[in-house]
Structure 1
């Protein structure tokens, strides 16, 4: 859909050959517009995030849209270790912290694109309805005392929404030309369900009762490119309209505490102005 909009698209993915195969299929379907590049990006590795961001900033002084879409769900417990950051639970690292760091590092290109107008640059965080029954367990954020996969997943998706609302206010206060959105694309039949019980026991269920990836993509495209979304910065969206997230997601104290915690975790001193 981004290529249909004649955009230059940079795909960051763990498996570059899989990304190349996806682009090949898109081109074979007759979609000739836009340009696309593929760079290796492993959201478990903060070093990989930094390397990817450095390439993007070098190649693209202006980034108009950033879609933070990488995700894992209901995986066995894993503590991610990086040389320059403390250990993190894998859902927290991949679904949230890696995106937090990437957004921070792309600030110069996002700011430049927003100033170039007429619309602000946009950051879209792909969250989930799973946030509704979730909280941030600041006492055991790494799930070392108790690990429940669904709780860890929900915590990471709630973190994305808190990140969204906090950053939108941060951008406004600093008069930066950037909007941030969080999106529940719907429960979609994607590879996110690979290895889960429902995929193994009843794969037909996903095809009949879940959204197709194409339908889920519409919800992501709306805040990414629609002029109608320009006035909706900071919103949590589903089916191309703003919705009220959970009470925990609207808690400014939680948002501020999580933001400060994440900056300290990732060694970020000034989120809006990365040190190159």
Structure 2
């Protein structure tokens, strides 16, 4: 009896995994990226690594913007082996949780790169078990997943405009649909009861709202901005979760029924290269198709409030603001 139950459970899990992976979207574009310069944040592992690998194979000059330089250099050596059609790999240091690091990275890019055709804001963390604050006084999840990318994008916008048509891609999550509210006066999560999940999903909602407001501000410039859900993906973010009962259960579910990082990168790659999304802006994608956001993720008044609060949080100067 127990053997039959076990076989049934295994069969169900395998079936769900095959079903999910079969239905997952894949980038079918064969577009070349030769002559294009692309920045991918958090490119030393997971979705970012596989995004970079694909774009290098298409001939792009790909800048790996990573916190761990030693790891990024090892990754770069491997990516160069698969480079073709003029593809290049450059490694630069970037810690999106540190505003000074973001400013240094952006200035170095502006000093050395004449063009930026694609900016992939991919770096992200799952929230720590206890609330943590960066040296800038920002909650670390919001700093890494939202504020750092908000600042970076603003600092590079002029170069992106000069390189148009160009694209900004923000990696969000289906988790953005979980919050029922977002207090833009409390983005550092000081007033409400803190939890890992709350910090993470609110940061992902900020990715969606930021994209919508960014697209509105960029109308007519030739620069597009879109966000995406990569799918349920088994990456290093999952392995770094604390081993609470809930997280262990979540890890088990995701490890058995999930995409691998290469499959999880497909929507990012699609938005970076596909001809059919040229000129498409302010949208949210999943499995290489446009998808609906939550009602909160479409709140235009909230996008404006988030932008203004983010400008204050990162201390955006008049010369940096757009």
Q: What TM-score, normalized to structure 2?
A: 0.76
1:208 Cα shift? Answer: 3.2
- 2:307 & 2:185 partners in 1: Cα distance? 16
Deviations 1:29-57 (A, max 9, x none): x4445101111111111000000011111
Q: Name 2:148's counterpart in structure 1.
A: 98
Q: Name 1:249's counterpart in structure 2.
A: 297
Higher relative contact order (CA 8 A, sep 6+): 2
- 2:291 & 2:250 partners in 1: Cα distance? 31
- 2:255 & 2:125 partners in 1: Cα distance? 20
Q: Which runs of 5+ in 2 are unaligned?
A: 1-53
Matched, 1:109 2:155: no
Matched, 1:171 2:218: yes
* Stretches of 4+ aligned residues off by more than 3 angstroms: 30-33, 197-208
Secondary structure of residue in 2 paired with 1:88: coil
- 2:251 & 2:304 partners in 1: Cα distance? 41
Query: Structure 1 residues 200, 148: CA separation in 2 closer, same or farther (over 3 Å shift)?
Result: closer
- 1:7 & 1:27 partners in 2: Cα distance? 11
Matched, 1:142 2:192: no
Cα pair 1:61 1:108 within 8 Å, conserved: no
Q: Which runs of 5+ in 1 are unaligned?
A: 115-119
- 2:116 & 2:89 partners in 1: Cα distance? 14
Query: Structure 1 residues 231, 110: CA separation in 2 closer, same or farther (over 3 Å shift)?
Result: closer
- 2:125 & 2:68 partners in 1: Cα distance? 15
Q: What TM-score, normalized to structure 1?
A: 0.89
1:25 Cα shift? Answer: 2.8
Moved more, 72-81 or 179-188: 72-81
Which one of 51, 75, 78 corresponds to residue 132 of structure 2? 78
- 1:207 & 1:152 partners in 2: Cα distance? 22
- 2:67 & 2:102 partners in 1: Cα distance? 11
Greater Cα radius of gyration, structure 1 or 2: 2
- 1:54 & 1:138 partners in 2: Cα distance? 28
Q: Name 2:237's counterpart in structure 1.
A: 192
1:71 Cα shift? Answer: 0.3
Q: Name 2:88's counterpart in structure 1.
A: 35
